[in-house]
Amino acid sequence: MIEAEQDKTTIDYRWLSAATTHVGAVREVNEDNQIEKPEIGLWVVADGMGGHSAGDVASGMVVDELSAVRRTGSNEEFIERVIEVLSITNQKLRQLAFQKFDKQAVMGTTVVVLIIHENRFTILWAGDSRVYRYRNHVLQQLTRDHSQVNDMLDSGLLAEEEAEDHPLANVITRAIGASQTLHLDRVDGEIQHGDIFMLCSDGLNKELSDQEISAFFSSGDVDEINKALIHSALVRGAQDNITAISVRVEGTVANDQTIPALSGQAGEESTINGY
C-alpha cells in the first residue's frame, strides 16, 4: 500500500506483463532467454553473445540461476540476492568456458533485470540489452548501452550520426562471463499508474528506431505491444534474435477507481562495483 504525496491518497499498484521471443529471420539458434515472474516483480532478458562459444548456454544459465531466487525479506535484500546470483553466474560461466574450450574462450551474455516492489522499480544491467519506459506518451530509454560506440560518443571521439553504422556497433564492453569482475549498473525510481516498461534484446532496437518503438505503446495492451514489435522487426529482416517483455503498471485507490498518471522524474543511476 503506497501513499501518494500529492493528495495523501492510498494507492495499490499491480502489474500486468507479457514476454515474447523469436529466433529472427536469419539466425538458426535463439540465444535469447527471458524470465517473466510478475508474482514476485521480476523480469529478465539475457542475450547470449553471438560469435562466442555457446551464447545460448550462457543466457540460459543466467535465467536458470535467477529463476531460483525467491522473494523473502526486504526488497533491498531481494535485489542484493539477484546481484549475488549474477556474480556467481559470472564465475560459473568463466569456469565452464575454460573447461569446455580454453583460457581465451568466452561464454558470455548480456543481462537486464527489472524489479518492481510496492511503488519502486530497480533496473540492473550489463551489456546492451535495454529497458525503456513509456510514461505520459513519452518513451525513454532508462538504461545506457555498455558498448564501444557509446564509450566513443562519451569521449567525443564519435559523432551521434556516425554511431549507428559504425563497424564497432556490435562490440559490448560488459557482459556476464566476459571478465573476472562483473560490474553492473543500477537505476532506481518510482512507478506511476500507466507506466509501461519494456525490456528487449538488441535484436529489436537495431531494427526499429525509438520513435518507431514508441508508436506501438498507445494501446496499453502488453500482448499486442509485443506482437506488433516482433512483427515489425521481422518485416525489417530481423538479423538477430528478438525478445521483448512489456510490463504495465496499474494503480487503484481505496474505492477501486483507477487513478490518473502522474508526472515524475526518471530515476537515479549508479554503478555497482565489485560484482
Residue 161: which pLDDT band, with cuts at 50, 70 and 90? low
Cα 245 to Cα 222: distance, rounded to the nearest angstrom: 8
Which CATH number fits the domain 2-272, given the four candidates 3.60.40.10, 3.30.230.10, 3.40.50.2000, 3.40.50.720? 3.60.40.10
Please state the separation of Cα 213 from the chain's center in Å. Answer: 15
Question: Could you tell me which residues come within 8 angstroms of residue 261 by beta carbon, excluding any fewer than 6 positions away?
Answer: 135, 136, 192, 193, 194, 195
Across the range 69-76, mean pLDDT stands at: 97
What's the whole-number average pLDDT of the chain? 87
Question: What does the DSSP 8-state code read for residue 95?
Answer: H
Q: Packing angle between helix 75-100 and helix 55-67, nearest 10 degrees? A: 150
Residue 10: which pLDDT band, with cuts at 50, 70 and 90? confident
Q: Where are the domains of the chain?
A: 2-272
pLDDT tens figures, 116-143? 999 999 999 999 999 999 999 999 999 9
Residue 74: which pLDDT band, with cuts at 50, 70 and 90? very high
DSSP letters, 115-157, are EEETTEEEEEEESS-EEEEEETTEEEE-S---BHHHHHHHTTS
- Read off the pTM: 0.89
Beta carbons of 121 and 267 less than 8 angstroms apart: yes
Residues in the chain: 275
Across the range 176-191, mean pLDDT stands at: 96
* Confidence check: pLDDT of 89 > 70: yes
